[in-house]
């Protein structure tokens, strides 16, 4: 069992070392933090979503902005779209699962708000449709992706693509990157 533990930790470290060496990715992380903090300074809001573990990451990052990350400050306007079970199930029933987040974006997003979609594959249908709707509504799209970025990278203003192929390692990197963005946002606010 110790071998599995050490191997998984080394795999996680390996992904993070690749992130450290990728100047484009580091710039994208910084650009996302700047966009989000500028949006919040102007009174805009951030809409998060994902599926499975990525839905949990969306909840987590929403909580960091609404509550606090490391500093006491006023709460920020952030909404986790996957937290509303009544809307999710009604839209899934009436329009199909691929539309659950797009309908919420359509109703909630205003010009210059930011949609943050989290998808380890980059191909989640409902995150993709929401990103399209966000752009249609005049908002910006930041995506947390993995593997090759999938089709969501092509509809993102800033695509943060973790260099990995194992879902668990991608998710570990996503939450680390999300925390870094929250820290930068707090510092800028």
- Summarised one tens digit per residue, pLDDT across range 57-115 is 999 999 999 999 999 899 999 999 999 999 999 999 999 999 999 999 999 999 889 99
Mean pLDDT, the chain, whole residue set: 96
Residue 137 is predicted with a pLDDT of 93
CA-based nearest residue to 159, from 177, 180, 176:
177
Please tell me which residue, 189 or 126, carries the higher pLDDT value.
126
Q: If you count them, how many residues does the chain have?
A: 189
Q: How far apart are CA 122 and CA 143, in angstroms?
A: 8
Residue 1 is predicted with a pLDDT of 79
Q: Which domains does the chain have, with CATH numbers?
A: 2-188 (3.40.50.10490)
pTM of the model: 0.95
Residue 187 is predicted with a pLDDT of 93
């Amino acid at each position: 069992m110790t071998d599995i533990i050490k191997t998984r930790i080394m795999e996680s470290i390996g992904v993070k070392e690749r992130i450290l060496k990728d100047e484009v990715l580091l710039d994208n992380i910084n650009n996302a933090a700047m966009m989000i903090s500028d949006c919040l300074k102007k009174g805009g809001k951030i809409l998060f979503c994902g599926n499975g573990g990525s839905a949990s990451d969306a909840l987590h990052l929403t909580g960091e902005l609404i509550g606090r990350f490391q500093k006491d400050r006023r709460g920020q306007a952030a909404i986790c779209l996957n937290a509303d079970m009544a809307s999710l199930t009604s839209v899934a029933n009436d329009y199909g699962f691929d539309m659950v987040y797009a309908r919420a974006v359509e109703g909630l997003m205003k010009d210059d708000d930011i949609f943050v979609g989290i998808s380890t594959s980059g191909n989640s249908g409902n995150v993709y449709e929401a990103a399209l709707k966000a752009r249609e509504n005049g908002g910006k799209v930041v995506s947390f992706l993995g593997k090759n970025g999938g089709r969501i990278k092509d509809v993102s203003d800033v695509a943060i693509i973790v260099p990995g192929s194992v879902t668990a390692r991608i998710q570990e990197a996503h939450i680390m990157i999300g925390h870094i963005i929250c820290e930068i946002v707090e510092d800028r606010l």
